[in-house]
């Protein structure tokens, strides 16, 4: 009789452990999925930068320092992206966003540039990419919050420690980026809702 009770208790604990482990795996996979979504949007933005630089370059020959700066910032952001570390990527992306802001402000001085269809299309794509990136960051940070909460709460923390789950890092902007102007505002584009 006692053996049956002990076996039942062990089975219940085993099932309980498997259920918690599976919830932790699901939460970790949501974090990974969110990070991959950020990666996709960052790559899309990185692909737009050279096109935007070339378009602006055709109209503003004497503003080479801004164009070179944006190109260098893009390279630095791509290097950080290769490391797959949220904080390194966030810092590099903040710098790239600031550089893009300066590039777009430069475009304000060239009305004929703003009137071109190519420039308008690129800026519309950039605005859309920034919106998608914002949504991807929110999803990722929500998934990180959920995973970290699970890892910190009893009884999940027991299984998390036994199986090596670690807390994830939030994707956060630097303080100066929190007050950075929105790309849509810089471009004077309309909202497509």
Residue spans of alpha helices (H) in 60-165: 64-83, 86-107, 111-114, 117-152, 156-163
Q: How far is CA 106 from CA 7, 39, 40, 142, 153, in A?
A: 73, 28, 27, 36, 50
pLDDT tens track for 34-77: 999 988 998 888 888 888 777 777 666 655 666 666 767 777 77
- Structure letter (DSSP) for residue 109: T
pLDDT of residue 142 exceeding 90, the answer is yes
More confident residue, 59 or 136: 136
| pLDDT of res. 65 | 60
pLDDT of residue 29 exceeding 50, the answer is yes
| pLDDT of res. 25 | 96
| Span of 121-130, 131-140, 152-161 with lowest mean pLDDT | 121-130
Give percent of the chain with pLDDT exceeding 70. 72
Residue 28's pLDDT band (cuts 50, 70, 90) = very high
What is 2-187's CATH topology?
de novo design (two linked rop proteins) (1.20.1440)
Contact, 170 vs 144, CB < 8 A?
Answer: yes
**Of the spans 10-24, 56-70, 76-90, 168-182, which averages the highest pLDDT?**
10-24
Assign residue 84 a region (left: φ > 0; alpha: ψ between -120 and 50; beta: otherwise): left
What are the tokens at 39?
A: 């990666």
- Structure letter (DSSP) for residue 173: -
pLDDT tens track for 77-119: 767 666 666 666 777 777 777 777 777 776 777 677 666 777 7
pLDDT of residue 189 exceeding 50, the answer is no
Place of tokens 């777009």: 104
Candidates 54, 25, 42; CA nearest to 119 is 54
Domain residue limits, the chain? 2-187
What whole-number distance in Å separates Cα of residue 19 and Cα of residue 159?
10
Angle between helical axes of 86-107 and 64-83 (0-180°, round to 10): 160
Angle between helical axes of 86-107 and 117-152 (0-180°, round to 10): 160
What is the pLDDT averaged over residues 152-163? 93
pTM of this prediction exceeds 0.75? no
pLDDT of residue 149 exceeding 90, the answer is yes
pLDDT of residue 17 exceeding 60, the answer is yes
């Amino acid at each position: 009789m006692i053996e049956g009770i002990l076996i039942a208790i062990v089975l219940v604990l085993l099932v309980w452990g498997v259920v918690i482990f599976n919830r932790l795996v699901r939460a970790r996979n949501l974090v990974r999925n969110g990070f991959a979504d950020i990666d996709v949007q960052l790559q899309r933005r990185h692909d737009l930068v050279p096109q935007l630089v070339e378009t602006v370059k055709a109209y503003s020959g004497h503003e080479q320092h801004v164009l070179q700066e944006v190109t260098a910032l893009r390279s630095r952001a791509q290097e950080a992206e290769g490391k797959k570390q949220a904080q390194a990527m966030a810092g590099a992306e903040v710098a790239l966003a600031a550089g893009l802001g300066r590039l777009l402000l430069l475009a304000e001085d060239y009305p004929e540039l703003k009137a071109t269809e190519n420039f308008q299309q690129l800026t519309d794509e950039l605005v859309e990419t920034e919106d998608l990136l914002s949504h991807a960051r929110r999803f990722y940070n929500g998934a990180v919050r959920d995973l970290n909460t699970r890892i910190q709460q009893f009884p999940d923390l027991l299984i998390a420690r036994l199986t090596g789950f670690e807390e994830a890092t939030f994707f956060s902007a630097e303080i100066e980026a929190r007050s950075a102007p929105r790309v849509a505002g810089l471009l004077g584009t309309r909202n497509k809702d």
